[in-house]
């Protein structure tokens, strides 16, 4: 497998950016990876899924959002709207046939928005077959960021346009912009029923400090019309990247694929 990614152009004019993509040919349903906030396609879960797909002969597509990993653009310019546009462009140009979309953290939110966007488009060869969501964080900009920020942090974001948030994972602080928060409000999904028409599997750590397991349970309540299975990992953290977590993830994808 060639280690260098391909690139596609997304957006136009001042919003144009080069999105890095890695894809593997194989059988359907394919795996379509959506990473998390500040994550990339070379992360542990993405690499494990790609390796599993290669061993089993299954197609796999993964990419980096703009401002992430090997893609172009600045992270601080990114929004839920722009990252959804990246995901939709990659899905429609790089994936073939039915796809199991695997979304981690923010990728879970993007997966739900991607599903809604695809439902509005004419039927085509590339389609959504199911979702596997890992510690899904829909509405995180509002429910898990803004609602939890102190008045001082909110004031700084509103007056300065951004706040440098310390990282819990040993990285440098990163900006949370007013634009990100305001744009996120256009895409909130947990305030209404969600009907996807495809099976959904959710893996959630009970000891997740970033996305409380109650957040996943709220999502399940919104998905009342769909085939949904929520698996709570009692000792699991946010990343769910231990060997046993990765084994659970690949088994979940295989089981879902086998039932399609």
Catalytic residue numbers, as ranges:
105, 208, 238
Start-to-end Cα distance in the chain: 28
Q: Which two tokens stand for residue 228?
A: 């949904």
Q: What is the DSSP letter of 234?
A: T
Residue 130 bridge partners (DSSP): 100
Contact status, residue 98 vs residue 92, Cβ threshold 8 Å: no
C-alpha distances in Å from residue 94, one per residue of 6, 35, 66, 98, 177? 10, 16, 16, 12, 30
Spell out the alpha helix ranges (H) of the chain: 44-56, 80-94, 106-119, 140, 151-160, 178-184, 213-222, 243-258
**Per-residue three-class SS string for 59-76:** EEEEECCCCCCCCCCCHH
79-89: burial string, b at 16+ Cβ within 10 Å, e else? bbebbbbbbbb
Measured CA to CA, the distance from residue 148 to residue 136 in angstroms comes to 18
Mention every residue, 6+ apart, whose C-beta is less than 8 A from residue 41: 5, 20, 22, 33, 35, 62, 63, 64, 69, 70
Contact status, residue 1 vs residue 59, Cβ threshold 8 Å: no
What sign does the dihedral 144-150-151-157 (CA atoms) show? negative
């Amino acid at each position: 497998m060639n280690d260098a990614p391909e690139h596609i152009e997304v957006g136009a004019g001042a919003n144009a950016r080069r999105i890095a993509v890695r894809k593997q040919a194989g059988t359907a349903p394919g795996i379509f990876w959506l990473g998390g906030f500040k994550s990339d396609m070379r992360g542990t879960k993405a690499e494990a899924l790609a390796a599993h797909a290669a061993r089993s002969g299954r197609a796999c597509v993964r990419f980096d959002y703009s401002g992430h990993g090997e893609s172009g653009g600045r992270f601080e310019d990114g929004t839920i709207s722009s990252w959804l546009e990246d995901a939709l462009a990659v899905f429609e140009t790089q994936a073939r046939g039915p796809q199991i979309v695997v979304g981690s953290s923010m990728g879970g939110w993007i997966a739900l928005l991607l599903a809604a966007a695809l439902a509005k488009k004419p039927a085509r060869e590339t389609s959504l077959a199911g979702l596997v969501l890992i510690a899904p964080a829909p509405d995180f900009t509002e429910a898990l960021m803004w609602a939890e920020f102190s008045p001082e942090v909110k004031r700084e974001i509103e007056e300065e346009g951004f706040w440098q948030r310390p990282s819990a994972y040993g990285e440098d602080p990163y900006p949370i912009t007013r634009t990100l928060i305001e744009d996120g409000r256009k895409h909130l999904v947990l305030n209404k029923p969600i009907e996807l028409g495809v099976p959904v599997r959710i893996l959630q750590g009970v000891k997740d400090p970033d996305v409380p397991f109650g957040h996943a349970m709220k999502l399940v309540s919104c998905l009342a019309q769909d085939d949904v299975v929520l698996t709570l990992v009692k000792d699991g953290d946010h990343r769910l990247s231990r060997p046993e977590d990765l084994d659970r993830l690949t088994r979940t994808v295989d089981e879902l694929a086998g039932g399609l």
